[in-house]
Structure 1
Amino acid sequence: MDLLDLIEEKRFLGQEFLIWLWCKSEERGGSIDLPGRGTVPVVFEKHMLLECGSGPECEKLVCRGLMTELKEARAGLALGKRPEQARLKIGSEEREYSFTLSASTLEFRSMKLPATAGADDGGSNEREGLEGQILERVALLEEGIDLVNELFRLFMQIRTSERWNDELLRLRRWISSGADMAVA
């Protein structure tokens, strides 16, 4: 199978992941309980791209605003549109990662990493200080990606288990409540 065909065939998993993540974060007041890590703050913010259909008939809806202002995106879900991109803010202990996640490829875009210690290298030369900063940024990048991978792993464990039927009902109720919210 061609790579592009495979991506197109499996893109629904990334879309379902974003819907599930959004629903779960709203259910628990902006956080998700991640086994082995505890509570992880997850907030959808500023930007979401929804799509319906494919090819030339593809409809797109871009929603911008704070998390509380994504009513149009929730209403779009009820109309059959699915998230293709979302701007997320995810936390880990005292660190916060902000990025755009593409559903079809689970690609990270515009990742903003937590602030680092800076250029204070304790008297070592400039090159060693720069290398240290680069290594620290790489470690932070890996930590952010690992958080999303663990959330996706949790989603896939539920998605491939008998628990999925109950979870799907919960997701459908959440989507329906968003359509009601947009009408009000």
Structure 2
Amino acid sequence: MDLVDLIQEKRFLGQEFLAWLWFKSEERGGSVEVPGRGDVLVVFEKHMLLEYGEGDASEKVICRGLQTELKEARAGLGLAKKPEQARLRLAYGDYEFGVTLTAAIFEFRNIRLPKTVDAADEGKDAESLEGRILERIGLFEQLTHLVGDLFRLFINIRASHLWNEELIKIRAWIESGVHQG
């Protein structure tokens, strides 16, 4: 099996992860408890790309709006549409990140890192530049670890007996969103 076929075969995991993460973020008002880390703020913002069907028969639908206006996207889940891409705001500790996450290959797009240094305090020398670059690398690393921890939590539930209970809750959540609109 070549890489493209493998990605195509396993893309459902990323789609399930995004749907599950959306559910988990709303289950506790935006807060997801990650073992060993504590609470992580997860907010779905303004943009979600849903996919329906497979191969040449697949269709994509873009849903835009504030978090509360993603009703169309949530209703789409009830119609077997799968999240393929979502704009997320993640916060942990003193840092808040923005990222668009794609389901198929876990690609990070449009990353917004936290501001850590006041622009007026930035020096122009080589050491100052090197420090800012290293700081940005550290922030990218924190973001990837944060998403990795959330995915690990999902996989641990997905691969255990807890998944059936989680599916019941997710279906009820989708159904409640359909009846709200």
- Cα RMSD (Å): 1.3
Match for residue 107 of structure 2? 107
Letter of the structure 2 residue corresponding to residue 151 of structure 1:
L
TM-score (normalised: structure 2): 0.96
Match of 2:159 in 1: 160
Paired amino acid for 2:154:
F
- Match of residue 59 from structure 2: 59
| CA distance in 2 between partners of 1:181 and 1:59 (Å) | 25
Deviation, 1:118, is: 4.3
Quick one: distance in 2 between partners of 1:6 and 1:82?
Answer: 18
- The answer to whether the 8 A contact 1:116-1:133 is kept is no
- Give the percent of matched residue pairs that are identical in Structure 1 and Structure 2: 61
- The ranges of structure 1 where at least 4 consecutive aligned residues each deviate by more than 6 angstroms after the TM superposition are none
C-alpha contact 1:23 1:174 (8 A) present in aligned 2: yes
**Deviations 1:81-131 (CA, angstroms, capped at 9, x unpaired):** 00000000000112100010000111100100000224636x8x7001000
1:91 partner SS: strand
2:35 maps to a residue whose letter is P
Structure 1, 130-139 or 161-170: larger mean CA deviation:
161-170
Match of 1:83 in 2: 83
Gaps of 5+ in 2: none
**Residue 98 of structure 2 aligns to a residue in which SS?**
strand
Matched to 1:44, the amino acid is F
Kept in 2, the 8 Å contact 1:11–1:104? The answer is yes
Taking the aligned partners of 1:55 and 1:19, their CA distance within structure 2 comes to: 21
Q: How far apart, CA to CA, are the structure 2 residues paired with 1:59 and 1:4?
A: 19
Distance 2:129 2:86 in 1: 32
Residue 115 of structure 1 aligns to a residue whose secondary structure is coil
CA distance in 2, matches of 1:82, 1:149: 21
Corresponding residue for 1:130?
Answer: 129
TM-score, normalised with respect to structure 1:
0.94
Which blocks of at least 5 consecutive residues in structure 1 are unaligned? none
Counterpart residue type for residue 79 of structure 2: L
Q: Please give the alpha-carbon distance, in whole angstroms, between the structure 2 residues aligned to 1:62 and 1:153.
A: 27
Aligned residues: 180
- 1:151 is matched with which residue? 150
Rounded Cα–Cα distance in structure 1 between residues aligned with 2:35 and 2:55: 39
| Secondary structure of 2:97 counterpart | strand
Q: Which residue of structure 1 aligns with residue 25 of structure 2?
A: 25
- 1:38 matched to which residue of 2? 38
SS at match of 1:106: coil
Q: Give the conservation status (yes or no) of the 8 Å contact 1:14–1:106.
A: yes
Shift of 1:9: 0.4
